[in-house]
Amino acid sequence: MFVRVLRDNSNGNWWFYCYVGRKWTPIGYWPKILFNGLAGPSSYIDWGGEAFSPPGTVGPQMGSGLYPNHPLAQYNSFSFDIKFINDNYENMDVVGIEEFTNYPSKYGVKDVGFVNDWVRHAAFWGGKA
């Protein structure tokens, strides 16, 4: 699934788009009033995976359950074509990625950087609880 989240420069609302039927389709938006800290341009982008289970239960695996450095990591959870759109609405490749996990003994993340012109920037994550 290809998704985008964009701030409308004309009114400050945040739009969610999915790539459906060979075009970007608006799914919905969040009014700017909901996001006090997002009224202007952003300087930080965050994305990745999340695994959740109720307190006192075993956590679920993430993706295929393989860690990102596993030889079969191509079957894991991933993001590719990671980029952002600047204030001039130009697509920009991300740089300076920070790999972060709350539970490194259970889950991992691996930023592989720029791969090629089709994949662009990619990252993998996964693991077993």
At residue 39 the predicted structure's pLDDT band, cuts being 50, 70 and 90, is low
Is the predicted pLDDT of residue 21 greater than 80, yes or no?
A: yes
Tell me the pTM: 0.69
Rounded distance between C-alpha atoms, residue 38 and residue 20, angstroms: 27
Cβ-count burial 17-30 (b if 16+ within 10 Å, e if not): beeeeeeeeeeebe
Residues 51/53/55/59 CA torsion (nearest 10 deg)? -70
Q: What is the mean pLDDT of the chain?
A: 83
- Tell me the pLDDT band of 17, cut-offs 50, 70 and 90: very high
Q: What is the mean pLDDT of residues 101-112?
A: 86
